[in-house]
Amino acid sequence: MASASTTITSSFLSTPSSLTEKPSSFNQTLSLGFKPRHSISVSASAAPSPPPSYDLNAFKFAPIKESIVAREMTRRYMTDMVTHADTDVVIVGAGSAGLSCAYELSKNPNVKIAIIEQSVSPGGGAWLGGQLFSAMVVRKPAHHFLDELEIEYDEQDDYVVITHAALFTSTIMSKLLARPNVRLFNAVAAEDCEE
């Protein structure tokens, strides 16, 4: 099995030119009224903290107006569209190929990437390993990419096995979409237009 003792933060620490540097276009985004994202530092080696205790009988959602929800979503989406109308790379398809491509390219924080996915659910076919079974078989040396993503696998001779393909897809997607230079537009299809 791959080492489970590495910290979750290490993949970002190993990323060239720290992702904390925000390209100027994102400053523009922030000036449109968004608060910066919370930065989360998680270490797998730290002792797990006890889950917060909730009194479910007293639990009450704070009230919110539908117009606030609508404005929040619309403003963010449209701002993403406006900022990424001028983009460096457009990737069509958020399957395993598109996600891996975006992951590599987005290591350079100055490269702006828009991913277009026609389905509501990104991930393509890689939510299963093959033949509708769960495990994903990965030929070496592609396991180095799994090491970088900190995805655990079972070691075999010339290949490795991830217990469920969804572990690959969910991990790469969460790490990729946390990068400030990447935006995913799902439920959007790219079409060939002949003039």
In the complex, the residues that contact ligand FAD under the rule CB under 6 A are 92-98, 116-119, 124-126, 130-132, 189-190
Residue among 109 and 183 whose Cβ is closer to ligand FAD: 183
Q: How far is the CB of 191 from ligand FAD (least distance, A)?
A: 6
**Rounded-to-integer distance, Cα 184 and Cα 1, Å:** 32
Q: Are 83 and 28 in contact (CB under 8 A)?
A: yes
For ligand FAD, give the closer residue by CB, 29 or 183.
Answer: 183
For the chain, the straight-line distance linking the first and the last C-alpha, in angstroms and rounded, comes to 54
* Residue among 109 and 138 whose Cβ is closer to ligand FAD: 138
- Phi-psi map region of 169: left, alpha, beta (phi>0 left; psi -120 to 50 alpha): alpha
CB 69 to ligand FAD: min, Å: 27
In whole angstroms, the minimum distance from the beta carbon of 160 to ligand FAD comes to 14
What DSSP string runs through 23-70? PHHHHHHHHTTPPPPPP----TTSPPPPPPP--TTT--PPP--HHHHH
Q: Which residue is nearest to ligand FAD (CB)?
A: 95
Nearer to ligand FAD, 98 or 109 (CB): 98
Q: Cβ closer to ligand FAD: 66 or 158?
A: 158
34 Cβ contact list (under 8 Å, min separation 6): 76, 79
136-139 vs 159-162, strand pairing mode: antiparallel
What is the rounded CA–CA span in Å between residue 167 and residue 152?
9
Distance in Å, CB of 140 to ligand FAD, minimum: 15
* Residue 73 C-beta: closest distance to ligand FAD, Å: 21
